[in-house]
Chain A
Amino acid sequence: SQQGEEDPQALSIQEGENATMNCSYKTSINNLQWYRQNSGRGLVHLILIRSNEREKHSGRLRVTLDTSKKSSSLLITASRAADTASYFCAPHGGSNYKLTFGKGTLLTVNP
């Protein structure tokens, strides 16, 4: 199965700033998904970007995908304290049904 590796492991910013998290993976993919996990809660799907897409937006979220570099980034603009959470990427490739999560990026947004 395919596992994403998120970078950085931890990120601390001030409210209103932008936050960028990166994800790298090793083999070809069908799509790549980003999830958020608030402390002590389940994961929430944020956005799915397909391998033939380069950029996707959802509200304050912008995801890019560079299949030649096998990397993706998640940008959160105008961050809020409520954005404090762990963010996971999950590359999905081939016929494998599984989503294999990395350790995530812990984002802290300070008020």
Chain B
Amino acid sequence: DAMVIQNPRYQVTQFGKPVTLSCSQTLNHNVMYWYQQKSSQAPKLLFHYYDKDFNNEADTPDNFQSRRPNTSFCFLDIRSPGLGDAAMYLCATSRDKAKETQYFGPGTRLLVL
């Protein structure tokens, strides 16, 4: 089945130690998104790729970076995780921008010690 896959489901890192979260999709969608969701809060968009075109949200901290080496894969890099970065990170895709349904992966829960 076509899907959005996130690995790992749980990630533990140390304060200040770089960490990378992975997302892959078999839907062949043009757009990939990364959201951050803290407990009992709304998912917050960090950035998205439209094909290779990277779009950063204005309030996304510089500590967060992303890479999309090909259509199928997208990575979220957190350069120096702080305690406040502990959250669920959700990857999503859509066929195209605007008016389109988004398909979400199961999420990676990040714990910062």
Chain A residues within 8 Å of B, Cβ to Cβ: 30-31, 33, 35, 40-45, 48, 88, 92, 95-104
Contact = CB atoms under 8 A, between A and B. Distances in A.
Contacts of A88: 42-43
Contacts, number: 52
Interface in B72-110: 88, 90, 92, 97-99, 101-107, 109
Given A42-B104, A45-B102, A45-B103, 17 more contacts: A30-B99, A31-B99, A40-B88, A40-B109, A42-B4, A43-B43, A43-B92, A43-B102, A48-B101, A88-B42, A92-B98, A97-B31, A97-B97, A97-B98, A100-B45, A102-B42, A104-B42
19 contacts: A30-B99, A33-B101, A41-B106, A42-B90, A42-B104, A42-B106, A43-B92, A43-B102, A44-B104, A45-B101, A45-B104, A88-B42, A97-B48, A97-B98, A100-B42, A101-B42, A101-B43, A102-B42, A103-B42
A104 B43 CA distance: 10
